[in-house]
Amino acid sequence: MKIIGISGSFASGQDTLAQYLRDKYGFIWFSTSDMVRKYSMERHGSIERPMLAETATFLRKTRGGGVLVDLGLEEFELLDNNVGLVLSGIRSMGEMNAILKLKGQMVYADADPELRFERMVMRQRDAESKIAKKEFLRREKAEWHVGDNENDFNKRDIKAYCEKQGMIIHNEADLAAFFHQAEEKLQLTE
């Protein structure tokens, strides 16, 4: 069984890649963002990004830095699947370390900020599609590195780890090129 964690910058294709791995290879896919949205609706009745950040921080502080990986793994174990598990939206070192402890792999999706902003606007997910580019960049910076605790948002160190491992996937061309890079790096090519 293979476990893959996907992190990345905003609107870089994390969920798109996870969906591809599910559809082509049969992985079970859990989005940490979807898990946080569920809990945020229960806590705040909202899925706006500030409420999501608060909810994710609350979950990590009360249940540990790897809580979202643990929740995904619990759900996965209830299913009959011998291919593997893919978790998208990895944002903390606790989540990454939980995946690595399970002998999983991490990849980091990235693209030019201008292109990612255009994608975010086009995907029409809640009110984030209406924010200005300056706000998009401010929100991204707020999640880049909050601190060095395992519970903190820390995409900076996740990206650095993935860079060192040669696991950065660029999503600036077409999806076929993006998927091909991922398959090669994850050693999934047929």
In the numeric block, which tokens belong to residue 105? 């792999």
List helix spans (H) across 78-154.
93-101, 113-123, 133-144
Structure tokens at 15: 């969920």
- Which pLDDT value is given to residue 124? 64
Closest CA to 171 of 159, 163, 179, 160: 179
Residues of the chain with pLDDT under 50: none
User: What domains can you pick out in the chain, each with its CATH number?
Assistant: 2-185 (3.40.50.300)
* pTM score, whole prediction: 0.90
The token pair at 151 is: 């519970």
pLDDT computed for residue 49 by the predictor: 75
- The three-point CA angle 84-94-69 to 5° equals 30
Q: Which tens digits make up the pLDDT trace of 136-160? A: 888 888 889 999 999 988 999 999 9
pLDDT, one tens digit per residue, over 124-135 is 666 565 678 898
